[in-house]
Structure 1
Amino acid sequence: MAGYIMSLKKTSSKKIDILNPLETCISRGVYSTNMSSPINNKWKTHHESTFSDYATMKEGDNIYFFIDRKIYGIGTLKNINRDCKYNNYTSSSQPITPEYLDIKNELLVDLGEESINNRWICTFEPTPFFFKNGVDMDDVLSSNPSKFRMLRAFYKLSFVKIDDDENKALKDIILKKNEQFLLNNTANEILKFNNSTHNNIKLKLNENNYTLNVADILSSCNENETLSHEMALEAGILSQLSNKDSHTESIFGNWDYISHQVIASPFKPLDYIDKMDVFGYKYIPGFYGTISKYLLMELKKGDALPIDIDQVMKYVDWISQEYSYGDYSMINAFLVAKKFDSSIIEAKNKFAQRNYIVGRRPPNFDIWTNLTLVEYTFNTSKNLLEFNIID
Structure 2
Amino acid sequence: MAGYVFAVSKESWNDFCSENLKHGHFSPYTPQITEELQNNNRSRKSLNKVISAVFGDMITMKPGDNVYFFSNRKIYGIGELVCVGNDCKYDNYLNASSLLPNFQIELQDVLTDKSSRARWVCFFKPASYFFRKGADMDDILRYRPSAFKMLRAFENMSFIKIDEVENRALKEFISLINEESFNDIDASSFKFSSSLHDKLRSRNLSSHIMDLSKALLNAENRDYVISEMFIEAFLLQEIANDSCQPIGHWDYLTHQLIASPFKPLSYIDKLDIYGYRYSNHYQGTPRLIQKYLVIELKKGKINAAALEQTMQYVDWICSEYASNDYSRIEAYVVGNDTVRNIDYIITDKCQRDYIVETHPVKTQKWNSLKILKYSIDTTIHFESL
Greater Cα offset, 314-323 or 300-309: 300-309
Q: Indicate the residue corresponding to 1:164 in structure 2.
A: 164
C-alpha displacement at 1:127, in angstroms? 0.4
CA change 1:99–1:198 in 2 (3 A) is: farther
Distance 1:324 1:230 in 2: 28
Partner of 2:58: 54
- Tell me the distance in 1 between the aligned counterparts of 2:357 and 2:20: 50
Q: Letter of the aligned partner of 1:171 in structure 2?
A: K
8 Å CA contact 1:90–1:208 kept in 2: the answer is no
State the Cα distance separating 1:201 from its structure 2 match: 2.5
> Aligned-pair distance for 1:217?
3.5
How far apart in 2 are the matches of 1:189 and 1:123?
22
1:267 and 1:23 map into 2 onto residues whose CA distance is 37
Name the aligned partner's letter for residue 258 of structure 1: L
**Given the alignment of the two structures, is residue 34 of structure 1 paired with residue 29 of structure 2, yes or no?**
yes
Structure 1 position 136, deviation (Å): 0.3
- Change in 2 beyond 3 A, CA 1:127/1:192: same
| Deviation, structure 1 residue 363 | 3.1
Conservation of the 8 A alpha-carbon contact between 2:31 and 2:50: no
Deviation at 1:346, TM superposition (A): 1.5
Are positions 1:150 and 2:150 aligned together? yes
Q: Give distance in 1, aligned partners of 2:279 and 2:197.
A: 35
The equivalent of 2:334 in structure 1 is 336
Q: CA separation of 1:207/1:81 partners in 2, compared to 1, >3 Å: closer, same or farther?
A: closer
Name the CA distance, whole Å, in 2 between partners of 1:222 and 1:369.
37
Gaps of 5+ in 2: 39-43
Q: Which residue of 1 aligns with 2:112?
A: 109
Give the match for residue 126 of structure 1.
126
Residue in 1 that maps onto 2:343: 345
Shift of 1:286: 4.5
Aligned partner of residue 171 in structure 2, secondary structure? helix
Distance in 2 (alpha carbons) for counterparts of 1:229 and 1:110: 28
The answer for the alignment partner of 1:251 in structure 2 is 246
Counterpart residue type for residue 155 of structure 1 = E
Q: State the one-letter code of the partner of 2:147.
A: K
Letter matched to residue 342 of structure 1: R
Deviations 1:89-136 (A, max 9, x none): 112222132588x536x210144xxx1211100000000111000000
SS of the aligned residue for 2:97 comes to coil
1:90 partner SS: coil
In structure 1, how many angstroms separate the alpha carbons of the residues matched to 2:186 and 2:281?
38
Report the Cα offset of residue 63 of structure 1.
Answer: 0.5
- Candidates 11, 16, 20, aligned match of 1:25: 20
CA contact (8 A) 2:215 2:222 kept: no
Aligned partner of 1:325 in structure 2 is 323
Q: SS state of the match for residue 278, structure 2?
A: strand
What are the superposed Cα offsets for residues 29-80 of structure 1, whole Å, 9 maximum, x if unpaired?
Answer: 0000122223538661100000111110111111000000000001110001
Which letter maps to 2:174?
Answer: I
What displacement does 1:5 show? 0.4
Of 262-271 and 334-343, more deviation after overlay is shown by: 334-343
Write out per-residue CA displacement over residues 182-206 of structure 1, whole angstroms, 9 at most, x where no aligned residue: 3x25210001111112123234x42
User: Using a 3 Å threshold, how does the CA distance of structure 1 residues 151 and 218 change in structure 2: closer, same or farther?
Assistant: farther
The structure 1 residue matched to 2:302, chosen from 293, 301, 304, is 304
CA distance in 1, matches of 2:215, 2:144: 38
TM-score after normalising by structure 2:
0.91
Match of 1:285 among 268, 275, 280: 280
RMSD over aligned Cα, in angstroms?
2.1
8 Å Cα contact 1:309-1:344 kept in structure 2: no
Contact 2:2 2:164 in 1 (8 A): yes
- Structure 2 distance, partners of 1:286, 1:67, is 41
SS at match of 2:209: coil
Select between 189-198 and 208-217 the one with higher mean Cα deviation. 208-217
Name the CA shift for 1:69/1:23 in 2 (closer, same or farther; >3 Å).
farther
TM-score (norm 1): 0.90
> Which amino acid is the alignment partner of residue 232 of structure 1?
F
Deviations along 1:156-202, one digit per CA (max 9) or x if unpaired, are: 000000001011011010001111223x2521000111111212323
Partner in structure 2 of residue 96 of structure 1? 101
* CA distance in 1 between partners of 2:222 and 2:305 (Å): 25
C-alpha separation in 2, matches of 1:208 and 1:340: 38
Kindly tell me the number of residue pairs found equivalent between the two proteins.
370
Give the counterpart letter for 1:388 in structure 2. Answer: E
Match of 1:190 in 2: 189
Residues 65, 207 of structure 1: CA spacing in aligned structure 2 closer, same or farther, 3 A cutoff? closer
Partner of 2:384: 389
* Counterpart-to-counterpart distance in 2, 1:318 and 1:371: 15
